[in-house]
Structure 1
Amino acid sequence: MTFSTSPDTTPLTACDPGKNLSEACADVEAKISRTDSKASLLIAFDGAVLAGLAGLADKDLPLTAQVAGGAAVLALAAAAVLLLLVVRPDLGGRRRTVQEGFPLWARLTDEALLAAMSEDTRLTRVRTLSTLALTKYKCLARAVDIILAALALLLAAAVLAVAG
């Protein structure tokens, strides 16, 4: 049995746009679900760290450690806000009109809903969901960066507390 490491350069002869659109919809929906799951786990982590820090609030620590710890708490709070925005449902508010899916269907008359059900909206769905997924991923990435910065600040605060 031989394996080739060179790419297959034969042209695609059978391309089914309908199948590709259906797969793209499923792929983007799965990515949104993964992002929401990751954000939920990070919200729990963020909350646990903040709860742990609340237990240290009555301790007599050096001012430098208090400042670093306070900055870490602010960073963790900012990360929590970003993570909550990731899991917040986007129903088309904020002057944005949803052009497909259940937020649109809820506004339609019976006749308009029947007409909408006869249209293939997968192209719009892929575009809309991709935009939503990209926004969620960007917020998630920023939140992770902020959490990492907060952890660095907490490490600095711990070193400053021990050094006195």
Structure 2
Amino acid sequence: MSAPTTRLDGALAAAHAEVKAEIARTDSKASLLLAFIGAALAAVGTVALAVGSAVVPAALVAGAPALVMLVAAAGVLLGVVRPRLAGAPAGFPKWATLTPDGVRAALAVDGRAADIAALSRITLAKYSAIQRAIDLIRASAAPLAIAAVVAAGGAVL
């Protein structure tokens, strides 16, 4: 094997590993954000139950959009971590459709460049969805704060 071929092989291997690691990172970020949303919804529910009937209707009106945004963000994040089996460029889904001879034939061809391109597009889509979810989470903070202030003011009266 010549030196340029060895360098290309090493570069392809490194790029392939990097893209796979980025996909793992997006899934980890999405999982953490889902846990955060779950905790936030649990906290809001706990506070609402604790305040009970003292919750001012205005607080409910102010807080409802925040809850909708948090649930929407959770939906976006679930889409990020949802496995994509159809049209997967390589790996498990592809191998599951092949015969043993088909696996050997597929491994004889270096498809890492195509995998890198396809996986990179998947990663960018996942990052875009995470950005949308974070924007929804941030936007939910204002109505939640308003609802808290209104509820606290109503509970005092």
TM interval, shorter chain, is: 0.7 to 0.9
CA contact under 8 A between 2:89 and 2:119: conserved in structure 1? Answer: no
* Structure 2 unaligned regions, length at least 5: none
Matches within 5 A, 1:32-71: 32-55=23-46, 56-57=48-49, 58-71=52-65
CA contact under 8 A between 1:100 and 1:124: conserved in structure 2? Answer: no
* Separation in structure 2 between the aligned mates of residue 46 and residue 24 of structure 1, nearest angstrom: 33
* Separation in structure 2 between the aligned mates of residue 99 and residue 46 of structure 1, nearest angstrom: 31
> What TM-score, normalized to structure 1?
0.82
- Is 1:159–2:117 an aligned residue pair? no
* Separation in structure 1 between the aligned mates of residue 53 and residue 40 of structure 2, nearest angstrom: 16
* Separation in structure 1 between the aligned mates of residue 56 and residue 79 of structure 2, nearest angstrom: 35
Q: What is the identity, as a one-letter code, of the residue corresponding to 1:111? A: D
* Separation in structure 2 between the aligned mates of residue 142 and residue 64 of structure 1, nearest angstrom: 28
- Paired residues in the alignment total 147
Instruction: State the shift of 1:89 in Å.
Output: 1.2
Deviations 1:62-95 (A, max 9, x none): 2221112111111111011111111111112xxx
* Structure 1 unaligned regions, length at least 5: 1-13
Instruction: State the shift of 1:59 in Å.
Output: 4.0
- Give the fraction of aligned pairs with identical amino acids, expressed as a percent: 44
SS at match of 2:54: coil
Deviations 1:97-148 (A, max 9, x none): 2342221111112221110011101011101210111111011111111011
> What TM-score, normalized to structure 2?
0.85
CA contact under 8 A between 1:76 and 1:146: conserved in structure 2? Answer: yes
* Separation in structure 1 between the aligned mates of residue 53 and residue 19 of structure 2, nearest angstrom: 47
SS at match of 1:51: helix
